[in-house]
Amino acid sequence: MRRYLISGNWKMNTTRATGVELVKALAAGCEGDESVDVLVFPPAPYLIPILDAVKGTSIQVGAQNAYFEEPGAYTGEVGLEMLQDIGCETLLVGHSERRHVFGETDELLNRKVKVALDKGFRVVLCVGELLSERQDDRTNEVLDTQMAGGLKDVTAEQLGQVVIAYEPVWAIGTGHTASPEQADAAHANIRGWLATNYSTDAAEAMQILYGGSVKADNAAELLGQPNVDGALVGGASLKASAFLPIIQAGIAATKG
C-alpha cells in the first residue's frame, strides 16, 4: 500500500517566527502517530530555522525552488548544493505559479528534475491543466505532455525518488476544488502514463498528490479516492488549526 504524504506549500508567506511556531505546532499535533508523512515547503530564507525546529520530529522540510546550475554567477538563485549544505534534500518543481507566473517551461523544469535527482534529491513534480484546457477536454493531453517533458531522460531507478502532484490550475487558491471523481480520473491518467512509459510496478508505487484548494472539509473524500495518495496544500497549510485536520484525514484514510 502506498504511504500517504500530506504536504504544505507556504509560498511567499510567514515570517521566521510564525513559520517556526507553525512547524512546532504541526510536530506536536502529529506526535504519537506517524502513519502518514508530513512535508512542508517554507520560503527559502526560513529553511534553516525551520529545519532546526523539526529536528527530532517526523516533520520533513523541502525547498520551493532551486536552480540547476553549479554554484556561480546566477544572482538571486539558490543552488542545490546550498540546500544540501543546510540539510534540505526535497525539491518542489513545476508548481503552476512557477509555470504561469515565472514562465518556466517543461524543458527548464526537466533540467531541474534531472540535476536534482542526480544529486540525490527527492523531487515533487507538479502537473496540471488550465481551466480553458479542461473545458476543451484536453486535461489528459496536457498531463501527458507535462509528464513526458518533466520526466524526460529520468531513469526507472531515479523514478523512485519522484512524487507527482496533480494540481488543476483553475482550483489553486480559487476556492474551487476538483470533485473527488475528477481528481481520481486525472491521477489514474497519470498512473496510466507511468505504466506505459515505465512499468506497472513503477505506476503502482508512485505517490500522486492532489493540490487545489484542499481543506479540512473536503480532505477525507479526496484522500479516499483509490489513486489519491496525499495532498499538496496551499492556503490551509499556513495555520496548524487548518492543516492538522487534513493530516488527520490522511491518518484516518490509512486506517480505513
| Residue 114 belongs to a domain | yes
Question: Is 249 inside a domain boundary?
Answer: no
Q: Which domain holds residue 210?
A: 5-244
Is 176 among the catalytic positions?
no
CATH number at residue 98: 3.20.20.70
Strand partners, 237: none
Q: Is residue 36 part of a domain?
A: yes
- Please tell me whether residue 162 adopts helix, strand or coil conformation: strand
Give the pLDDT confidence score for residue 173 in this predicted structure. Answer: 75
**Total domains, the chain:** 1
Give the residues across from 37 on adjacent strands.
Answer: 5
Residue 74 included in any domain: yes
Is the residue at 254 inside a domain?
A: no
CA angle 122, 124, 128 (to 5 degrees): 160
With respect to residue 251, please indicate whether it lies within any of the assigned structural domains: no
Q: Do the domain assignments include residue 19?
A: yes
| 8-state DSSP, 93 | E
Written as nine digits, the cell of 211 is 493540490
Q: Which of 89, 104, 167, 187 is catalytic?
A: 167
Would the pTM count as exceeding 0.95? Answer: yes
Residues 202-236 as b/e (b if ≥16 CB within 10 A, e otherwise) read bbeebbbbbbbbbbbebbbbbbebebbbbbbbbbb
Catalytic residue list contains 129: no
Position 42 scores a pLDDT of: 98
Q: Is residue 255 part of a domain?
A: no
CA–CA distance, 208 with 188 (Å, rounded to integer): 9
Catalytic residue among 89, 95, 97, 129: 95
Do 206 and 159 meet the contact criterion of CB atoms below 8 Å apart?
yes
Q: What is the pLDDT along the chain (256 residues), one digit of tens a residue?
A: 799 999 999 999 999 999 999 999 999 999 988 899 999 999 999 999 999 999 999 999 999 999 999 999 999 999 999 999 999 999 999 999 999 999 999 999 999 999 999 999 999 999 999 999 999 999 999 999 999 999 999 999 999 999 999 999 988 778 777 899 999 999 999 999 999 999 999 999 999 999 988 999 999 999 999 999 999 999 999 999 999 999 999 999 998 7
